């Protein structure tokens, strides 16, 4: 069992492994597959037919602008005696106009969002975590030492949050307490959101709730419907077991529902539940999640109403989803199961970092044609074809994603992945700051972490009109998902209410480098 534990340690996202080779993401920009580039251009073509019609209309308009009044008189004289030509031209114009408006996707706007900030009595320091773990009596001294080392180099600070059921002694991990945690997080975030947007709950037509590890009956979406008395025909969805990337899956689902339900609001709630998912065993691959995951959640209001564009913060430009579940290694790298003592936990495989790298590579390669400037695409595509098709030994061209995005919100799953992505994408400390500070202040809040990061960026006054933000998350399955947002207005921190505002001037903080676990 000890050997298995050592092997599993090296796979933990955010943890320095005993075998350093497992801690490195593959340089996915240096090993791109042509099929994923092709998939990206397929999205461009299939999802943007109206982009083809716009140039045609522009050319026609430019040509018409060169005609004089005499030309139009002559055209009328020719057409009034030719009913067939008039009918054909009119029909063609009506057809093109209808085709344009039918193929043009509805705009999806992010009106506002809210992140839940637990009460101060839910704060947990690293020292308290270790003391409480020792007092429980379930963990061996070796594993207590292991957890302490994980915490020291995890990137988490001293003000993260636990649910009250785990702060009491002895802990009370039961269904009733898990429901209390879920309701506290969901209602806290939704109440803030409704207060900020002044939207009547009866006007919400679509509801999507995601929580991976807690799926009671009635569902969490039903809990929201009941509490806020949503209307009887609300389209409600409850996503479970989909990991830390489920937040962007929920956004993508809401986007597609908004395309076919005009004049609608969509409420998305992203959270995770800690109460029933604390691991009390001694399998080290399952102990890592105890050290990283913390309490939190977010609520997001989307709209396809044209009138909401004026007050919305962002417009959703793209969502790209990648699923590697067909591969057995990817499927099993994050797995909920029982240990040898029949205690349930989430096991992290030693292959996790490699699997994450492959999923990220696929997702980024597919996203590239949608977002990169044409100059970057041409350079990238030319060198790719030269290397893959003509077998030329030339240095690959790595696209600069900083030319496509102003801000980066990378899932704060752990320190190691953030370090590797910073290096692979050639990002600066400024770009990584929202992700690192979210991990430090709130810990890994699963699918909601991206929204704490965006809230941090807003609180710092960095969002300007026209800025593009890239949200990227990964989770069990194995999945990697992206969303791209464009700011519709400059966000002033003076008018914002989010969990960072009362302490934003204390950030960023310096998180010192630490030695590896092996030392």
Q: Which residues are identified as catalytic?
A: 244, 323, 407, 411, 444
Whether the ω angle into residue 441 lies within 30 degrees of 0, i.e. cis, is no
Q: What 3-state DSSP class applies to 219?
A: coil
Exposure of 474 in the CB half-sphere (CA atoms within 13 A): 29
Query: With contact defined as beta carbons under 8 Å apart, do 491 and 463 qualify?
Result: yes
Cβ neighbours of residue 187 under 8 Å, at least 6 residues apart? 227
Measured between alpha carbons, how far is 9 from 14 in angstroms, rounded to an integer?
11
Q: Exposed, middle or buried: residue 63 (CB in 10 Å: 0-12, 13-18, 19+)?
A: exposed
Sign of CA dihedral 141, 142, 145, 151: negative
Tokens of 131: 């003391």
- Mapping DSSP onto H, E and C, the string for 400-443 reads CHHHCCCEEEECCCCHHHHHHHHHHCCCCHHHHHHHHHHHHHHC
Measured between alpha carbons, how far is 336 from 19 in angstroms, rounded to an integer?
24
Q: What is the dihedral of CA 496, 497, 499, 505, to 10 degrees?
A: 50
């Amino acid at each position: 069992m000890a050997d298995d534990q050592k092997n599993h340690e090296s796979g933990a996202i955010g943890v320095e492994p005993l075998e350093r080779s497992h801690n490195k993401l593959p340089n996915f920009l240096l090993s791109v597959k042509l099929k994923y580039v092709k998939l990206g251009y397929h999205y461009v073509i299939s999802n943007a037919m109206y982009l083809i019609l716009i140039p045609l209309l522009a050319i026609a308009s430019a040509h018409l602008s060169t005609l004089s009044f005499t030309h139009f008189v002559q055209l009328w004289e020719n057409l009034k005696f030719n009913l067939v030509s008039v009918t054909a031209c009119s029909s063609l114009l009506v057809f093109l106009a209808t085709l344009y408006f039918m193929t043009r996707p509805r705009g999806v706007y992010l009106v506002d969002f809210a992140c839940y900030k637990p009460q101060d009595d839910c704060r947990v320091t690293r020292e308290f975590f270790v003391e409480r773990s020792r007092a429980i009596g379930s963990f061996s001294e070796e594993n207590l030492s292991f957890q302490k080392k994980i915490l020291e180099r995890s990137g988490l600070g001293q003000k993260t949050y636990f649910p009250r059921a785990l702060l009491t002694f002895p802990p009370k991990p039961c269904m009733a307490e898990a429901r209390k945690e879920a309701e506290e997080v969901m209602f806290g975030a939704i109440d803030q959101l409704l207060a900020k947007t002044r939207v009547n709950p009866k006007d919400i037509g679509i509801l999507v709730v995601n929580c991976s590890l807690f799926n009671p009956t009635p569902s969490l979406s039903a809990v929201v419907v009941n509490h806020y008395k949503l209307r009887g025909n609300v389209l409600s969805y409850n996503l479970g077991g989909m990991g830390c990337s489920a937040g962007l899956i929920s956004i993508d689902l809401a986007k597609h529902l908004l395309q076919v339900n005009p004049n609608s609001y969509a409420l998305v709630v992203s959270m995770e539940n800690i109460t029933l998912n604390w691991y009390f065993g001694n399998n080290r691959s399952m102990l890592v999640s105890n050290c990283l995951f913390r309490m939190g959640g977010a609520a997001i209001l989307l709209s396809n109403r044209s009138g909401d564009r004026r007050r919305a913060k962002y417009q959703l430009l793209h969502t790209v989803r990648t699923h590697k579940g067909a591969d057995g290694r990817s499927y099993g790298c994050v797995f909920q199961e029982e240990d040898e003592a029949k205690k349930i936990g989430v096991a992290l495989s030693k292959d996790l970092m490699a699997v994450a790298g492959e999923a990220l590579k696929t997702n980024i390669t597919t996203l590239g044609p949608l977002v990169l400037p044409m100059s970057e695409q041409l350079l990238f595509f030319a060198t790719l074809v030269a290397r893959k098709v003509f077998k030329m030994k030339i240095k690959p061209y790595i696209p600069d994603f900083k030319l496509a995005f102003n801000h980066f919100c990378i899932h704060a799953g752990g320190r190691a992945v953030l370090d590797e992505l910073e290096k692979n994408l050639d990002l600066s400390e400024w770009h990584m700051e929202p992700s690192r500070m979210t991990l430090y202040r709130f810990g890994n809040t699963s699918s909601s972490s991206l929204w704490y990061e965006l809230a941090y960026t807003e609180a710092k006054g960095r969002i300007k009109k026209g800025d593009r933000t890239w949200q990227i998350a990964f989770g069990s399955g194995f999945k990697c998902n992206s969303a791209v947002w464009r700011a519709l207005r400059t966000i002033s921190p003076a008018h914002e209410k989010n969990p960072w505002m009362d302490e934003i001037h204390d950030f960023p903080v310096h998180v010192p480098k630490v030695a590896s676990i092996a030392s």
